[in-house]
Amino acid sequence: MKSDSNLEKVLAAGNFAVTGELGPPRGANLQAIKDKASHLKGMVDAVNVTDNQTAVVRMASWAVSLVLKEMGMEPNYQMVCRDRNRLAMQSDILGAAALGINTMLCLSGDHPSFGDHPQAANVHDIDSIQQIQMVANMRDQGRFQGGAEIDTPPRLFVGAAANPFGDPFELRVLRLGKKVAAGADFIQTQCIYNMERFAEYMRQAVDMGLTEKTKLLAGVTPLKSAGMARYMAKKVPGMDVPDEVVKRIADQPKDKQAEEGIKLLCEQIEQLREMPGVAGIHLMAIEWEHRVPEIVERAGLLPRPQV
């Protein structure tokens, strides 16, 4: 084992993993975290804690991760390259690891122009692939990015994100390959709605042997309404929502759309479980944490393994 990560153990034991997501509050509200987290406890193997998601300021990802840890959950500490240089990253990583955080996810981060501080200078000192390499080297070689030795190296299960749907398509698997080569132990993908295209992506990933070197969790997000489906289809960069999917939700009366969204999601999870190379799902129930127990139950993903 590379770490004490619950996610690592669940995957190593050959289980189909389930990860969830929690967006920290936009204030110093501890109770808000606990309330949201309570819905996820026992339902998922690790909870992604987003880092200033969509370039909007929120409570520190490491702090919220620590709260989850204290609640007996496994946080997946997210860190974006947008907001800090390599010094800040490495010091945060050491702090998080020392406080018992075992799993982290390396990301570039959305551009500040999308967020609440569009005036901000963005850092991007290193990119997400360099970041993966940096964390993996900190752990495996006990070296800082600058080369100096680390007295007690952090033990982290290192993850990365992948979007199978951005363009150009032929670069998507190659980029996944780069992340794996950089040392990503696991991958969580962008939300998948176009199953055919994703299956093609997985075929290529499996052919290249990538899924033997890393654990790939397929991203899913329940569509709560036709409005959300249309928004995802039109407004979210790099997202591929086929017309049939939007139509299927939109064809339902307003009060049945959420239910249809969950039904669709369960079908998708079923398909993903059958797909070669998929080691689990990453369930991003954006501001719908309270529905997670119902979703994982209906998708037949309970109980979560105790490892």
Beta strand residue intervals within the chain, DSSP E: 17-22, 46-49, 75-80, 103-107, 157-162, 186-191, 215-220, 278-283
Q: Should residue 121 be labelled a site residue for other proteins when binding is judged by CB under 8 A?
A: yes
Q: Which of 113, 116, 251, 254 binds other proteins (CB under 8 A)?
A: 113
Q: Should residue 150 be labelled a site residue for other proteins when binding is judged by CB under 8 A?
A: no
Q: Which two tokens stand for residue 220?
A: 């899913």
Closest CA to 107 of 88, 141, 84, 140: 84
Q: Which of 31, 119, 152, 306 binds other proteins (CB under 8 A)?
A: 119
By beta-carbon proximity to other proteins, the closer residue of 109 and 112 is 112
In angstroms, what is the minimal distance from the CB of 119 to other proteins? 4
By beta-carbon proximity to other proteins, the closer residue of 28 and 121 is 121
Sign of the C-alpha dihedral computed for residues 51, 213, 10 and 188 taken in this order: positive
Q: Which of 38, 122, 194, 225 binds other proteins (CB under 8 A)?
A: 122
By beta-carbon proximity to other proteins, the closer residue of 82 and 224 is 82
Considering CB under 8 A, how many residues would be counted as binding other proteins? 8
- Unique residue bearing structure tokens 């995802």: 232
Helix, strand or coil for residue 191? strand
Q: Should residue 112 be labelled a site residue for other proteins when binding is judged by CB under 8 A?
A: yes
Q: Which of 120, 181, 250, 286 binds other proteins (CB under 8 A)?
A: 120
By beta-carbon proximity to other proteins, the closer residue of 111 and 273 is 111
The whole-angstrom separation of Cα 266 and Cα 295 is: 7
Residue pair 69/95 in contact by the 8 Å Cβ criterion: no
Closest CA to 138 of 189, 187, 87: 87
Query: What's the DSSP call for residue 168?
Result: S
Alpha-carbon Rg for the chain in angstroms: 18
The whole-angstrom separation of Cα 294 and Cα 182 is: 37
Which window, 58-66, 120-128, 227-235, 287-295, contacts other proteins (CB under 8 A)? Answer: 120-128
Q: Should residue 238 be labelled a site residue for other proteins when binding is judged by CB under 8 A?
A: no
Q: Which of 26, 85, 100, 118 binds other proteins (CB under 8 A)?
A: 118
Binding-site string for other proteins from residue 9 to residue 48, where x marks contact by CB under 8 A and - marks none: ----------------------------------------
- Contacts with other proteins by CB under 8 A lie at 111-113, 118-122
